[in-house]
Amino acid sequence: MELSWMAWTGPTAIFWIGIVSCILSMCIWEYFSPGGNPRIGILRFETTRGDRLFISLIGTAFIHLAWLGFIGAAGLWWALGISFFYAIGVFKTV
């Protein structure tokens, strides 16, 4: 298969493997504990685990894009750390 259209580097592969792992983990979690544990958090509307995962992934993308735009590729691991704590905050409060 021809994959030259995308710059498949190590970090790019790790990024996509991470996203796929999150989605597969959520599918397995939902299979064994269906319902998604809906609740109303600080956004004042009902969210499930899948909704919170989606909000976390979108927020992580924006954090990384902002990091690249303002600081550059140097220290991108810091953006990953910020994103990790952001995701924990989303799952606890949203």
Q: Which of residues 84 and 8 earns the better pLDDT score?
A: 84
User: How far, in Å, CA of 49 to CA of 90, rounded?
Assistant: 10
As a residue count, the chain comes to 94
What is the pTM (predicted TM-score) of this model? 0.80
What proportion of the chain, given as a percentage, has pLDDT over 90?
Answer: 54
Q: Which two tokens stand for residue 26?
A: 């959520």
CA dihedral 31, 33, 35, 38 (to 10 degrees): -130
| Domain ranges (residues) in the chain | 10-93
Give the model confidence (pLDDT) of 52-83 as tens digits. Answer: 999 999 999 999 999 999 998 888 889 989 99
Work out the average pLDDT over 34-45: 86
Q: Which of residues 56 and 7 earns the better pLDDT score?
A: 56
What's phi and psi for 48, nearest 5 deg?
-110, 180
pLDDT given at position 3: 66
Residue 33 is which amino acid?
A: S
